[in-house]
Amino acid sequence: MGKPLLEMIKKEMESFSLPHGTGKILVGVSGGADSVCLLLALKELGYEVCAVHVEHGIRAGQSMEDCAFVRKLCLEYGIPLYISHVDVPACSARMGTGLEETARSERRRVFGEAAEVFGIHVLATAHHRMDQAETVLWNLIRGSSVAGLGGIRPAHREGSLLMIRPLLFCGKDQIEDWLTGRNITWRTDLTNYDVQITRNAIRLKIIPMLEELNAGAVMHITQAASDLRQVEEWLQQEENELWERVVVEDGDGHRKDLKADRTQLSRIPDVLRGRILRRMIARCSGSLKDIARTHVRALDDLAAGRSSRRVNLPGGLVAFSEEGILRMAHQRKGLPEGGQVRGLEEAVFRIGEDGSGFFPASFLSGDQECRRDADWNGFPEGNDACPGKMIRADVHFLTWPGGMVPKKKYTKYLAYDTMTPCLVLRTRRPGDYLYVNASHGRKKLKDYLIDEKVPRAMRDSIPLIAQGSHVLWVIGMRISERAKVSTGASCARITVFLEEAL
Give 105's Cβ-side CA count (13 Å radius). 13
In the chain, which segments carry CATH 3.40.50.620? 2-227
Positions in the chain whose pLDDT score sits under 70: 1-3, 250-256, 308, 331-393, 419-422, 497-502
Q: Is the dihedral of CA 112, 115, 116, 120 positive or negative?
A: negative
pLDDT in tens, 143-200: 888 999 999 999 999 888 999 999 999 999 999 999 999 999 999 888 888 888 888 9
pLDDT at 137: 96
In the chain, which segments carry CATH 3.30.465.60? 251-330
Helices (H), 78-118: 88-95, 99-118
pLDDT at 345: 40
pLDDT at 338: 35
Q: Which amino acid is at 370?
A: C
CATH architecture designation of domain 2-227: 3-Layer(aba) Sandwich (3.40)
CATH architecture designation of domain 251-330: 2-Layer Sandwich (3.30)
pLDDT at 361: 36
Give the number of other CB atoms < 10 A from CB of residue 208.
Answer: 10
| Residue 343 burial (C-beta neighbours within 10 Å; 0-12, 13-18, 19+) | middle
pLDDT at 78: 96
pLDDT at 313: 84
pLDDT at 7: 93
Give the number of other CB atoms < 10 A from CB of residue 47.
Answer: 24
CA angle at 32 for the pair 27 and 36, rounded to the nearest 5°: 45
Pair 291, 314: CB distance under 8 Å:
yes
